[in-house]
Structure 1
Amino acid sequence: MNPYLPILLILIVGLALGLGVSGVSLFLGPKKPNTYKLEVYECGLPVTSSAENRFSIKFYLTAILFILFDIETIFMYLWSTAFDYLGWFGIVEVGIFIATLAIGYIYVLRRGALRWD
């Protein structure tokens, strides 16, 4: 028996379940469109195409900060579980990773993403 067969089965069941539930909601869900529901929504701002109503840079800096620390948490957990097997290579690798995170943290700090007005 192929060892990847259970994974393939789970993917097929998950895909079928997701498509099935979406299809059922499409056919059985309420359909009451009106002009208010069909308007484009831009974070509460009126719909314009001018450059003066663009998003603030703080949205992007907050997203960068989230990704930075999210990836750090995952990587540090995996590194700590394999610490015995990695030896000096693992220590050097984590040192480089922490230095990269420090550069990202300093960038976000200087751009003012941690100041909430």
Structure 2
Amino acid sequence: MPTALMTTITVPLIMLALSHWLPQTTPDQEKLSPYECGFSPLEDARLPFSLHFFLTAIFFLLFDLEIALLLPLPWALNATHPMTAVTWTLLVLTLLTAGLAYEWNQGALDWT
């Protein structure tokens, strides 16, 4: 236990010392300007927003959530009742597939 305690105290102190003694970066106008998601902060803020970019971001979040929901599946299959995990997994995948079919049928996936 003392070794772990010493490590948890020593490593952050070493990192603090290194960050203090390492050379600082010199800020310039580009580094000091706020980051605006690819839009120039000096232009008009009311530019039209790309719907293709918005839908791509929404799909990324949707499938990222799907992966997060399915990630515990291998551990759940080792439980005492693995059919419960399989049932919930099939329910989640069925709902996502039904939502994808609905959006496809409504024409929400047409990029042009």
* Shorter-chain TM-score tier: 0.5 to 0.7
Q: Structure 1, residues 72-112: CA drift from partner, whole Å, max 9, x if none?
A: 44133233333xx1154334323322223324544675643
2:68 is equivalent to residue 71 of structure 1: yes
Q: Shift of the alpha carbon at 1:57?
A: 0.8
Instruction: Give distance in 1, aligned partners of 2:13 and 2:44.
Output: 35
Instruction: Give distance in 2, aligned partners of 1:68 and 1:49.
Output: 34
Contact in 1 for aligned 2:103/2:109 (Cα 8 Å): yes
Q: Shift of the alpha carbon at 1:40?
A: 1.9
Contact in 2 for aligned 1:68/1:104 (Cα 8 Å): no
What's the secondary structure of 2:33's corresponding residue?
Answer: coil
Instruction: Give distance in 2, aligned partners of 1:19 and 1:66.
Output: 40
Q: Shift of the alpha carbon at 1:23?
A: 6.0
Greater C-alpha Rg: 2
2:97 is equivalent to residue 102 of structure 1: yes
Percent identity over the alignment? 16
User: Larger RCO: Structure 1 or Structure 2 (Cα < 8 Å, ≥ 6 residues apart)?
Assistant: 1
Which blocks of at least 5 consecutive residues in structure 1 are unaligned? none
2:84 is equivalent to residue 89 of structure 1: yes
The CA RMSD measured in Å over matched residues stands at 4.0
Contact in 1 for aligned 2:76/2:85 (Cα 8 Å): yes
Q: Shift of the alpha carbon at 1:28?
A: 1.8
- TM-score relative to the length of structure 1: 0.53
From 28, 35, 59, the equivalent of 1:41 is 35
- TM-score relative to the length of structure 2: 0.55
Contact in 2 for aligned 1:79/1:90 (Cα 8 Å): yes
Which blocks of at least 5 consecutive residues in structure 2 are unaligned? none
Deviation larger for 28-37 or 96-105: 96-105
